[in-house]
Structure 1
Amino acid sequence: MSQPVAKVVQTPAPEPLDAGAKLIQTLAGKVATLRKQRGLSRRVLSEMSGVSPRYLAQLEAGEGNISVLLLQRVASALDVRIEALLTEQTPLDHDVLRVAALYHQAPEEVQQQVCSMLAPQNPRLLRAGRICLIGLRGAGKSTLGARAGEALGIPFVELNREIEEAADMPLPEVMAFYGEVGYRKMEAEALERVSARHDRMVLAVAGGIVTEEDTFAHLLERFHTVWIRTSPAEHMQRVRGQGDHRPMQGNPAAMAHLKDLLQARTPLYARADAQVDTANRTVGSSLNTLLAAVAKHQFLETGR
């Protein structure tokens, strides 16, 4: 007579926590850990915060949905900022918070000096999240930059558009009114503004920015750079395709000039962290190469 076969009962895998449940779990762990680190009983913490011991017990068990006002009381009693209870990261100590406050109150030039002093300690951290496309006009910076920003879910900014908005006039008028020197000054100021405004972004800049030593140094310090390049013939063809016939009209030596310009700037463009050659390639193919370079070099990673 055959023996009955025992049935194997499989325990279902626990469902993953949703964002709200994970936040409550993080909050519970942080409150319990900080309370114990400070040697406080729930009763003492209750007296300091004005939150009942029963409510604190529910909070530490991940069973209580505490209001923001009560949570602020608990944070104050534990001598931490309220955001320290809502993140898995180690809370900043008081000295770091004081330095941060001093930095925010300091003039812009002092902030730049501080960043320049700290950058050599971890240069990738200062650039993390920011990507800048450099190269001659017509290589595809604007097209690829806009599509890369959309694909990566981060803002795309053209520095010349930033200059136009600040000057309240189109770029040709900026050049006519302020001249080359004035334009370069506005370019440097615009670069500083967008660096301060965005922690994560894709930026496209004019081809000549690499010839301005200080501005280019600031760019390399604050951004991961990608040289978008193509052949001289495609440079010229794309510029004309944008409706600008100036490079060819009345200038039969335009192609030779373009080649000389590209040759002179190649050592500067080559300082970029990565390169994407768009010659004889579709926009989709070039975009895939750009996104692959971003992933390979971990341009959007922080803390590296």
Structure 2
Amino acid sequence: MKPAEHPPDSGIADADTEVSLAASIGERVRAYRARRSISRKHLSAQSGISERYLAQIETGKANISIDLLQRLAQTLVVPLHGLLPASNERPLPAPLRELFNRLSPTQLEEAYRLLAQHFESPRHSRCGIALIGIRFGGKTTLGERLAEHWDLPFIRLSQRIEMLAGMKVGEILEMGGQRSYRRLERQALTQVIRKSPRSVLEVGGGLVTEPETFQNLLGHFYTIWLHATPPELMKRLMAAGDMRPLEGNNYEIAMEDLTRIFAEREAEYRQADYILETTGRSVETCLEELVRISQDIVASNQEEASDH
């Protein structure tokens, strides 16, 4: 007897679509959490969603409701559609896609720099030097030394944020979350640009995740990314006794989180005017390079000051 033929099971296709959607949303939540340097514990406290359920969301095992998705979007300070897979992304033209496929990683980096330089918005007359990068990249140590060398003020943007808020960064995040902190960060940077443009400025590692604030920084400061590999950053962090990233004393999880943060922010960090490699190099060697690459900015400041 011929076996009965079954009609196509649309339910299977629908289930596959749901799994794919859940995985895509989970990846976006995990990526934004990395960009913001928010621990799962902190995200849970701010959003009211349990850590266990957040873990299910991030691994694509939860069928999240619109209400919970909205809560996550508000906590992460992203539009709701930012957590959903894009359905209208413009595909690259075939010739451009074929060209990119032929390029080596080094050539792709060069192509990105050329395109960014050609299409970037015009930058203002920049009087100061800003250091960007992940925590323990050397921003404070090298920033203080560079400012002392050129006799310029050294400003930590986090301290200006605390002055505006009248409380510590941790308290700002605890009481108002990322939204309040990013608003204060934007205000603090605007204040520095207006009152202390000729300075060496250290900014938080997550500032680059706010497009408007980051573009304001790029437009007014000569920006230098202090680059260090994730293993090097973890080594420095542990040497300093800062164990905050080690959730449950699990080195592998901490290393995975740090690597993810690095990967999620790398494209923004590469928009800096200069990339200074600090991995495996002494403070003195890095300082010498910083002095050399910043001397034209400082010289133009002195000329402008003498004209006035």
> How high is the TM-score relative to the length of structure 1?
0.56
Q: Pick which of 181-190 and 228-237 moved more.
A: 228-237
Partner residue, 2:278: 278
Quick check: which one's helix share is greater?
Answer: 2
Other-structure match for 2:300: 301
* CA drift at 1:152: 0.6
Q: 1:235 to 1:163 in 2, by over 3 A?
A: same
Q: Distance in 2 between matches of 1:299 and 1:266?
A: 27
Indicate the residue corresponding to 2:184 in structure 1.
Answer: 186
Q: How does 1:6-21 map to 2 (within 5 A)?
A: none
Corresponding residue SS for 2:247:
coil
Q: CA deviation at 1:265?
A: 1.2
* Aligned-pair CA distance for 1:239: 2.5
Q: What one-letter code is carried by the residue in structure 2 that aligns with 1:223?
A: F
Summarize the alignment of residues 44-193 of structure 1 with structure 2, pairs less than 5 Å apart.
Answer: 120=122, 123=123, 125=125, 127=126, 129-193=127-191
Query: Compared with structure 1, are the counterparts of its residues 197 and 262 closer, same or farther at alpha carbon in structure 2 (3 Å cutoff)?
Result: same
Structure 1's unaligned 5+ residue stretches are 1-118
Match of 1:225 in 2: 223
- Tell me the SS of whatever aligns to 1:132: strand
Secondary structure in structure 2 of the residue aligned to 1:279 = coil
Report the Cα offset of residue 243 of structure 1. 3.6
Question: Which amino acid in 2 is paired with 1:218?
Answer: N
Preserved CA contact (<8 Å) 2:131 2:201: yes
Distance 1:300 1:241 in 2: 37
SS at match of 1:226: strand
Which position in structure 2 is the counterpart of 1:291? Answer: 291
Aligned to 1:246, the other structure's residue is in SS state coil
Question: SS where residue 290 of structure 2 aligns?
Answer: helix
For structure 2, list consecutive stretches of 5 or more residues without a partner in the other structure.
1-120
Provide runs of 4+ in structure 1 moved above 4 Å. Answer: none
The normalised TM-score by structure 2 is 0.55
Which of the residues 234, 241, 244 maps onto 2:242?
A: 244
Q: Which residue number in structure 2 is paired with residue 269 of structure 1? A: 269
Aligned 8 A contact 1:138 1:234 in 2 = no
Tell me how large the CA RMSD over aligned residues is.
1.9
Paired-residue identity, %: 37
User: How far apart, in 2, do the equivalents of 1:131 and 1:231 lie?
Assistant: 23
Per-residue Cα deviation, 1:216-262 (whole angstroms, up to 9, x for no partner): 11111111100001121121122334442011131431112211221
